[in-house]
Amino acid sequence: MPDPSTVLPIELLQKIFKHYLLDWPNADVAAPLFNNPLKQQPLFENRQTQVRYLTPGPVQSLDLSYGLWVLGKVNRAWRNATLSSETLWSTVRITFSSQPQWFQDLVWDRAIRKISFSPDSNIPSKILTEILSRSGSAPLSITLSLPVEMPREEILADAVSRSLFVLLSEQSHRWQWMELTVPTMIWEDFVQISPSRLETLRRLHATVQGGPFLFQIIGVCTSVVDLKISVTHWKSHTALPPIPIMMPFLQYLDIGSSQCDVLKAITAPSLKSLRLQTRGYQSGMPSFCSGFVDFIQRSSCSNSVVALDLSGGTCSCREVIEILSRTPSGDTSSPSLLPNLGTLLFDGMLALGRADLDLFLDMVEFRIAGRLRNVRIGHVFGADIENLKGRLSYLNSLPGVAIEFDEVPDRGF
């Protein structure tokens, strides 16, 4: 009697392989293609701000003891199934350690299985070349993570990491989903790619050191729908582009850095979701309001933004209240800025005082009369939450409304 696994239809085998790879521990690396950053908050699941999810598919790595490499060795039918599907090979994750002799590929962040290569080894390039060949013409979803702080001389001496990025760059016309955590020298190579080769790129999550290449990176990726920029530290002044970069398709923007100059550098008319974790607010800093309002007005996205996250001390509580309490001249019943805002997260660096909290809830209540339904406020004293229990109970009893506080220890503790 033949092995049942050898007579299954090839399409069924491929579906089984896909689910097997996606069900592997930590399979969340196969992240949504269009991922609303605010959707990650449990409070806001299954609500009107939710967006359509597209997953890149099963992840393939340089680890020959895992995944499709192993499945293809079981028998001829399984090998044919792995080789005849381009999409099974089109999502690649490569993560390296920070040691100089380091070349390790981790299939998952907490995986036990590791592969080590010498710095001058050509084995990783051969494996990646084979993966890219087997992916055919399918759109590519790539995760490449190198030590961001790696000294320039180490990268120059390390032929492996640069050769991998060269191989990936040769297929840049197929990039659809890209997550890059790499040192500045690799970003220098990235910005040399012609924007015409990146027209299919829809998602870019970039971790950079800052410096002169930040806006060049954005400038070659104007077709993205989802952009996340994380700046580890700002080493030098970054000159703004002469005119703001037009990003006509950008819907989800997430900025984490010590400055919010990115808002001055781009125009995003289709924006739906904005997360800013840009600086620690301190008294006496330049007003956040004017820069934020200028960006919204320049982009003409006031009506399209439905989710806003101002975290990490991006601005003061009073600035948020000022922005979101504005009303058109002669009309005090509706907001003039972000009238369709449905989700709001605010988390300052310090706990809110009772007076600020009352004003914030006044603004929230004003907004609930419109579209606002989901609110999370960070750094609130437990005693203040207790004193506001009645008001919160009333607001949360309204249809579709969910307001939550992140509690901190009371004063004096």
| Per-domain residue ranges of the chain | 4-301, 302-413
> Tell me, what's the pLDDT at 153?
58
In 163-272 the beta strands, taken as DSSP E runs, fall at: 175-181, 203-208, 226-231, 245-246, 252-256, 266-267
The CA distance from 174 to 412, in Å, is: 57
How confident is residue 411, by pLDDT bands cut at 50, 70 and 90? Answer: low
Residue pLDDT, tens place only, 139-157: 999 999 887 766 665 655 4
> Tell me, what's the pLDDT at 72?
83
Residues in the chain: 413
Q: Closest by alpha carbon to 361, among 388, 335, 338? A: 388
How confident is residue 316, by pLDDT bands cut at 50, 70 and 90? Answer: confident
Residue pLDDT, tens place only, 268-300: 999 999 999 875 544 445 568 888 999 999 999
> Tell me, what's the pLDDT at 56?
44
> Tell me, what's the pLDDT at 125?
86
In the predicted model, is pLDDT for residue 66 greater than 60?
yes
Neighbours of 241 (CB within 10 A): 14
The contacts found for 364-370 with CB under 8 angstroms, 24 or more apart, are 364/395, 364/403, 365/395, 366/325, 366/335, 367/324, 367/335, 367/341, 368/395, 368/398, 368/401, 369/333, 370/334, 370/335, 370/339, 370/340, 370/341
Lowest mean pLDDT segment, chosen from 4-13, 30-39, 46-55, 162-171: 46-55
Q: Which residue has the higher pLDDT, 1 or 205?
A: 205
**Mean pLDDT across the chain, nearest whole number?**
78
Residue pLDDT, tens place only, 354-388: 888 999 999 999 999 889 999 999 888 888 888 89
User: Could you tell me which residues are beta bridge partners of residue 91?
Assistant: 141
Percent of the chain with pLDDT over 70: 73
> Tell me, what's the pLDDT at 332?
67
Lowest mean pLDDT segment, chosen from 35-49, 179-193, 272-286, 325-339: 35-49
Q: Closest by alpha carbon to 374, among 407, 399, 411? A: 399
Q: With helix as H, strand as E and coil as C, how does 134-158 read?
A: HCCCCCEEEEEECCCCCCHHHHHHC
In the predicted model, is pLDDT for residue 237 greater than 90?
no
In the predicted model, is pLDDT for residue 218 greater than 60?
yes
In the predicted model, is pLDDT for residue 96 greater than 90?
no
Average pLDDT for 230-245: 79
> Tell me, what's the pLDDT at 97?
54
Instruction: Record the pTM.
Output: 0.83
- 3-state class (DSSP) for residue 133: helix
Task: For residue 122, give both structure tokens.
Answer: 């050509």
In the predicted model, is pLDDT for residue 206 greater than 50?
yes
> Tell me, what's the pLDDT at 30?
36
Q: Which residue has the higher pLDDT, 176 or 384?
A: 176
The CA distance from 20 to 27, in Å, is: 10
Average pLDDT for 338-349: 91
Residue pLDDT, tens place only, 98-118: 443 333 333 333 332 334 444
Q: Which residue has the higher pLDDT, 266 or 107?
A: 266
> Tell me, what's the pLDDT at 8?
78
Q: How would you classify the pairing of strands 91-95 and 140-145?
A: parallel
Average pLDDT for 175-184: 91
> Tell me, what's the pLDDT at 340?
95
> Tell me, what's the pLDDT at 383?
87
